[in-house]
Amino acid sequence: AQKVTQAQTEISVVEKEDVTLDCVYETRDTTYYLFWYKQPPSGELVFLIRRNSFDEQNEISGRYSWNFQKSTSSFNFTITASQVVDSAVYFCALSEAQPSSGSARQLTFGSGTQLTVLP
C-alpha cells in the first residue's frame, strides 16, 4: 500500500520569504509517479508537476522548484520569493503503475499543507 505524508499542516511566511513544503512517500512499487497540486480557496486542484520514479533530476519552473530524492523517499517543493497569491493548500500525491490494468491514475494524496503568505 502506498502512503504520502505531509508533516507540515500549516506554514505561515511573510511575502518574499522562501518556503519549502515537505513530502515523504511510501511505496513498494519500483515504477511510480509523484505529483504536486495546489488548491486555492475556490477548491479546484491545480496541477503543478509530475515526476516519474526514474527521473531524479531536480526541476525549476520560475519561482517553483522541486527536489526529488529516492534515497529518502522525499519530493519537496520550494517556493522562492513567495507572494500573497501563493497562499493555498498544497498537496503531494503518489500514483503507482498497475500493469494489469494499464492504469496509473489512482492518486494517493497527502493531507496537505496550508500555506499562508502574509503581505
Residues of this chain that interact with other proteins (CB under 8 A) are 31-33, 35, 37, 42-47, 50, 52, 91, 93, 95, 97-98, 101-112
Name the nearest CA neighbour of 79 among 38, 29, 50.
38
Shorter beta-carbon distance to other proteins: residue 11 or 48: 48
Shorter beta-carbon distance to other proteins: residue 42 or 119: 42
In the three-class reduction of DSSP (H, G, I as helix; E, B as strand; rest coil), residue 81 is classed as coil
Q: From CA 51, how far away is CA 6, in angstroms rounded?
A: 17
CB 106 within 8 A of CB 4: no
Smallest distance, other proteins to C-beta of residue 104, A: 3
Shorter beta-carbon distance to other proteins: residue 13 or 45: 45
Smallest distance, other proteins to C-beta of residue 108, A: 7
Smallest distance, other proteins to C-beta of residue 54, A: 11
In the three-class reduction of DSSP (H, G, I as helix; E, B as strand; rest coil), residue 71 is classed as helix
Q: What are 22's three cell numbers?
A: 515537505
**H-only helix segments in the chain:** none
Smallest distance, other proteins to C-beta of residue 118, A: 24
Backbone angles phi, psi at 88, to 5 degrees: 180, 175
Shorter beta-carbon distance to other proteins: residue 17 or 98: 98
